[in-house]
Structure 1
Amino acid sequence: MQINVATGCWVVLLSLTGAAWWVAEAHLTSPIIMLGLAGATWVKGWLIIDHFMALRRVSWLWRGLVLGWLSSVLLLIAVFY
């Protein structure tokens, strides 16, 4: 049985969201865990940008612009945390 790419992405997104929910419910707030959550959020954003927004095969200008925006937002959140 072969899994569709979109289904695989959805499973990863669901798993990362569940892990983030578990961390929030357990009140785990160390800086290392927060960096891990930021990394997981970046991975989720990358999956959405590449697969669901269909920017995987466009020029690096557009893809880099959106990934740069995502990285900038997460970096600002990390700096102010």
Structure 2
Amino acid sequence: MSSDVHGTPRRATLLWATLIVATLLTWGMGVLGATGKGAIAALAAISFWKGAVIILDFMALRHAPALWRMLTLGWMVLVWAVIAIAYIKGMPQ
């Protein structure tokens, strides 16, 4: 495997460790009962970043044709849009 396309083991390890830290951070926010629009926005941003890292780096699409990147990242954006709409509609007036 070429490191130009798939990155280096060091990069993968650093990204993996960062994903673990982000997961622990969001878990900790849940345990501590973080609420409010700011907490929800932070959780959404962290999880969106995690999804992008997994798609681009661990699925090795960072250097793939643009169509594949647009399809996978676009799917993630669509799912998050549906989640956001459901959350906003479910908020008390």
Report deviation, 1:27.
Answer: 1.1
Q: Deviations over 1:32-73 (max 9, x none)?
A: 111111111111011101111011111111111100111111
- What is the identity percentage for the equivalent residue pairs of Structure 1 and Structure 2? 37
Q: CA RMSD in A?
A: 1.2
The structure 2 residue matched to 1:39, chosen from 37, 45, 52, is 45
**What is the aligned partner in structure 1 of residue 5 from structure 2?**
none
**What is the aligned partner in structure 2 of residue 9 from structure 1?**
15
Q: How many residues align?
A: 79
Unaligned runs of 5+ in 1: none
**What is the aligned partner in structure 2 of residue 74 from structure 1?**
80
Runs of 4+ in 1 over 4 A off after TM superposition: none
TM-score using structure 2 length: 0.79
| 2:59 is the counterpart of 1:53 | yes
The 1-side partners of 2:81 and 2:21 are apart by 23
TM-score using structure 1 length: 0.90
| 2:69 is the counterpart of 1:63 | yes
Give, as a single letter, the amino acid of the residue that structure 1 aligns with 2:50. K
